[in-house]
Amino acid sequence: MVELIINGTQVTVETDAGKPLLWVLREDLEVLGPKYGCGIAQCGACRVLINGESAPSCVTPIGSVAGASVVTVEGLAQQGGMLSVVQQAWIDEQVPQCGFCQPGFIIATTALLEATSQPTDAEIDEAITNICRCGTYPRIRRAIHRAAAILAER
């Protein structure tokens, strides 16, 4: 039995402590935003914020995050459903193609901008290691800069 906070809600899950957080989210809690893309911490489709840090949930055993606060892409929009600055930048730049990888990119970007408010291209290259098979990278880069600029105005 593991207790943790998912998108602000306290939950208790009864499951094997070795089950990856990704599959607890997707199967036990029906939080389907984080995606399975590789299962080996390569693609980033499963990324969530664990106590504010972006982490691949596919290799994070649920037992290791007891008591943690986990935020998935579903938890980014504000009260009333307004998109987060990063999500809105994703719409404004028309980033997604198929969209399967995008929850992971949006999470990784949210964490990046928390740590580095005005990332350079080199810092983006360093921090954003997710895979997008559809090749939306030029737009992701633009959307990150756009979100950074909007956050700076606040």
Partner 1 sequence: MPRFLSRRGFLITGAALGGTALVAAVGGAGYLASVDVDGLDGHLYGERAVLNAFVVIQPDSRVIVNVPKTEMGQGIHTGLAMVVAEELDIPFDDRISVVFPTEAHPAYSTWFNLLQIRPEEASGPIVWVGRRVLGQLGFIATGASGSTMGMWHPMRVAGASARHMLLAAAAARLDVPAADLATGDGFVRHEASGQHLSYGELAREAALLQPPDHPALKPASEWRIIGRSQPRVDLPAKVRGEPVFGMDIALPDMVHAAIRHAPVFGAKVARVVNEAEVRAAPGVRDVAVIDGQKVAVVAVSWWQAEQAASLLNIAWTQTEANGVTSAEMSARLKTALGSTEPYENINEGDVEAAIAGSTSPTIDATYEVPFLTHACMEPINATVLVRDDLVAEAWVSSQSPMAIRQGVARGAGLAGIEPISVTCNVTMNGGAFGRRSDQDVVAEAAFLAARHRGRPVKLIWSREEDIARGLFRSHAAARLRAALGADGLPMAYDALVATQSITQAIASRNLPFTPGPDGDRLSVEGLDKLHYAIPNRRMRSQHVPSHMPIHFWRSNGFSFNTFFTESFIDECALAARADPLAYRRALLRANPRHLAVLNRVAELAKWGTPMAPGRGRGIAIEECYRSVVAQVVEVTVAEDGEITVDRVFCAIDAGLVINPDAVVAQMEGGISFGVTTALMSAITLDAGTVMESNFHDFPMQRIADAPAVEVAIMESDEPPCGVGEPGVVPVAAAIANAIHAATGRRIRSLPLAITETNGERRRRTVLRRIAT
Task: By CB under 8 A, name the binding residues for partner 1.
Answer: 16, 19-20, 23, 27-28, 30, 32-40, 42-43, 45, 72-74, 77, 83, 87, 90-91, 94-103, 106, 124-126, 128-141
Determine the Cα angle at 6 with ends 10 and 84, to 5°. 130
For partner 1, give the closer residue by CB, 131 or 151.
131
Contact indicator for 63, 2 with CB cutoff of 8 Å: yes
Residue 152 to residues 9, 85, 113, 128, 135: CA-CA distances in angstroms? 29, 11, 10, 20, 28
Rounded-to-integer distance, Cα 1 and Cα 9, Å: 16
Q: Which stretch binds ligand FES (CB under 6 A): 10-18, 39-47, 114-122, 145-153?
A: 39-47
For partner 1, give the closer residue by CB, 4 or 106.
106
Nearest to 1 by CA among 25, 18, 17: 17
Site for ligand FES in 53-82 (CB under 6 A): 56, 58
Site for ligand FES in 115-134 (CB under 6 A): 132-134
Query: What residues line the site for ligand FES (CB under 6 A)?
Result: 36-39, 41-46, 56, 58, 96-102, 132-134, 136
